[in-house]
């Protein structure tokens, strides 16, 4: 079974790198990443600032294969 790891970054700084998970395929890894991203946004509870970037990246054998990126922009 393939192993997938998940790397979370905020403004280019790595916040967390999870231990690889054994998952059946990339679609299962994508499901895990979307659930995680949704929970992270929910947990922010209004505290997400403008002009920031947050991402969770799916890696297989150290290579990035998919990513979810949230970019906020603001002039004020």
Residue 8 clears pLDDT 90, i.e. is over it: yes
By the 8 A CB rule, do 4 and 59 touch? yes
CA 34 to chain centre: 8
Q: What is the pLDDT of residue 4?
A: 97
Domain spans of the chain, in order of start? 3-71
Would you state the structure tokens that stand for residue 75, as one six-digit string?
């002039």
pTM here? Answer: 0.84
Q: pLDDT exceeding 90 applies to what percent of the chain?
A: 71
Strands 3-10 and 13-17: antiparallel
Mean pLDDT of 30-40: 94
By the 8 A CB rule, do 25 and 9 touch? no
By the 8 A CB rule, do 1 and 23 touch? yes
Q: What is the pLDDT of residue 64?
A: 95
Residue 65 clears pLDDT 80, i.e. is over it: yes
Q: What is the pLDDT of residue 33?
A: 96
Mean pLDDT of 47-64: 92
């Amino acid at each position: 079974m393939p192993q997938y790891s998940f790397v979370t970054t905020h403004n280019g700084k790595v916040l967390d790198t999870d231990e690889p998970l054994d998952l059946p395929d990339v679609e299962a890894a994508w499901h895990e990443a979307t659930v995680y991203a949704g929970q992270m946004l929910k947990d922010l509870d209004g505290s997400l600032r403008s002009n920031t970037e947050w991402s969770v990246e799916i890696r297989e054998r150290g290579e990035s294969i998919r990513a979810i990126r949230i970019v906020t922009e603001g002039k004020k």
